[in-house]
Structure 1
Amino acid sequence: MADLEWGTEVGILEGKNILVTGVLTDGSIAFHIARLAQEEGAQVVLTGFGRGLSLTTRIAGRLPKPAPIIELDVTNQEHLDALATEVKKHLPHLDGVVHSIGFAPEAALGGNFLNTAWEDVATAVQVSAYSLKSLTMACHPLFKDGASVVGLDFDAQVAWPKYDWMGVAKAALESTSRYLARDLGKDNVRINLIAAGPIRTIAAKSIPGFNEFENVWNERSPLKWDVADPVPAAQGAVALLSDWFPKTTGEIIHVDGGLHAMG
């Protein structure tokens, strides 16, 4: 919170309009980004699709303030083409976008790397990486005086046990963010990622052997890591959505207890 006058506090997102994807449970990083964004003064609109839409609708009721919900499947071009129009029904423009989208078919995870068919790999890359470009460009007409786009990442510098093609998709996400930063900088659009440590989310439960990640962090993270606490990663995302990082783009901010820096 920033003090503008004696006794007056204004949130770091005061007056901003933020679109948040991927709110499925109140244990998700995306939920806490939406919550903190509202608490810091932002107006928030959520997206969901398919069976997850009902989950998003239910969980949205746990936010501090009501948040409109728009149906959006990032692999559906009709949804993408209509997104700006749908957002304008609730907000005049957008100042920030949160990309919390990732999926890999079961065959692309769990140690099946050498046998995964291209169709499954293609799904993982399209949903988890290409969608950052799709979502950003669908929202681009709503960016008034620039914007901050923040994606959620899991560090792809190394090969993780059983993460397989999702790891490849995250590497593609990281590269996509850099190219978007290059091409959209002229519009004052910042593209950054939060590389969070492992959090027990719905997505994590779909990863076979997730407990192996937990063991690695328990043993090697210099700062104590809690796989049940999504708030630190959410705080990092909210900071990037604010005006406090005006000249940071193409960056990966690690919120992982420092493990990425350890040998």
Structure 2
Amino acid sequence: MGLLEGKRLLITGVLTTSSIAFSAARLAQEQGATVVLTGYGRMSLVERVAKKLPEPPPVIELDVTDPDHLAGLADKVREHVDGIDGIVHAVAFAPQTALGGNFLNTEWDDVANALHVSAYSLKSLTMAALPLMEDGGSVVGLDFDATVAWPVYDWMGVSKATMESVSRYLARYLGERDVRVNLVAAGPIRTTAASNIPGFEEFEKTWTERAPLGWELKDPEPAAKAIIALLSDWFPATTGEIVHVDGGLHATGA
């Protein structure tokens, strides 16, 4: 029996096969879960990537900043499954003006966009899907360690710090509904999203040189395995936690 046998999962952020979300979706299916994906914008690409999973899942269009999309999410999911046991939040975005060392010059509209998509959406997605989680469940979000200020990450770093706080408050308020909320803080992975961050190679050098366990920039599976574990029943009393999957770099000094 798989670790997620019988679980029904809603997974966002599967845009390419190199993404952590894709690896999580694949592992979830291999561990017995039924998966429903969401995508936005390049839907034909998401649908094409979905077909590369062991069992091609349904794909629902979802803009996490659109109130109408969020209001209709539960009904669209019910067209495929009668409820869900878990959510993977793998959605993040910041305009180019909010990255790459431009922190002091970024205008509020661009900051607000980054915060809305990357942080507030953890709350809005969870609440939109909550009616589907009648028996409780697990929400897992993708994080990047926000305890320090990273070069070039700028307002995305602020967004991740905000998401970490949002996750703790969700854990506080949803515990009585038996819903756990945790984050996986992964090291850098060479994905499409990462390639859009000016100066991303600075992260690559840091991790490959300093992570105590080493770090493979092209391997999303370690982070995906942590997601699977948190979605399973093996963490029944863990919520509001950040699990670091970064080769141990977060625990080291200069």
- Smaller-chain TM-score range? over 0.9
Aligned residue identity for 1:64:
P
Query: Who is 2:18 aligned against?
Result: 27
Query: Who is 2:250 aligned against?
Result: 260
**RMSD, matched Cα:** 0.5
The answer on 1:196 being equivalent to 2:196 is no
Query: Who is 1:3 aligned against?
Result: none
Write 1 or 2 for the structure with the bigger share of strand.
1
- Aligned runs of 1:111-126 on 2, under 5 Å? 111-126=101-116
Query: Who is 1:4 aligned against?
Result: none
Distance (whole Å) between structure 1 residues aligned to residue 183 and residue 45 of structure 2: 25
The answer on 1:61 being equivalent to 2:54 is no
Structure 2 spans left out of the alignment, 5+ residues: none
1:182 maps to which of 159, 172, 182: 172
Query: Who is 2:33 aligned against?
Result: 42
Query: Who is 2:100 aligned against?
Result: 110
C-alpha displacement of 1:31: 0.2
Query: Who is 1:237 aligned against?
Result: 227
Distance (whole Å) between structure 2 residues aligned to residue 191 and residue 139 of structure 1: 13
List structure 1 segments (4+ residues) > 3 angstroms apart after TM superposition. none
**TM-score, normalized by length of structure 1?**
0.96
Query: What does the per-residue CA deviation read over 1:3-46, in whole Å, with 9 as the maximum and x for residues that have no partner?
Result: xxxxxxx0010000000000000000000100000000000000
Distance (whole Å) between structure 1 residues aligned to residue 231 and residue 105 of structure 2: 40
**TM-score, normalized by length of structure 2?**
0.99
Aligned residue identity for 1:24:
L
The answer on 1:159 being equivalent to 2:149 is yes
Distance (whole Å) between structure 1 residues aligned to residue 226 and residue 44 of structure 2: 27
C-alpha displacement of 1:218: 1.4
Aligned residue identity for 2:15:
L
Query: What does the per-residue CA deviation read over 1:139-193, in whole Å, with 9 as the maximum and x for residues that have no partner?
Result: 0000021110000000000000010000000000000000000000000000000
SS of 1:151's equivalent in the other structure is strand
SS of 1:104's equivalent in the other structure is coil
C-alpha displacement of 1:224: 1.3
C-alpha displacement of 1:49: 1.3
Query: Who is 2:217 aligned against?
Result: 227
SS of 1:47's equivalent in the other structure is strand
Distance (whole Å) between structure 2 residues aligned to residue 109 and residue 27 of structure 1: 22
Distance (whole Å) between structure 2 residues aligned to residue 251 and residue 206 of structure 1: 28
Paired residues, number: 253
Query: Who is 1:17 aligned against?
Result: 8
Aligned residue identity for 1:20:
I
Structure 1 spans left out of the alignment, 5+ residues: 1-9
Aligned residue identity for 2:159:
A
Between the two proteins, what is the percent identity of the paired residues?
Answer: 68
Aligned residue identity for 2:64:
V
Aligned residue identity for 2:251:
A
Distance (whole Å) between structure 1 residues aligned to residue 9 and residue 103 of structure 2: 37
The answer on 1:140 being equivalent to 2:149 is no
Aligned residue identity for 2:247:
G
Distance (whole Å) between structure 2 residues aligned to residue 157 and residue 126 of structure 1: 20
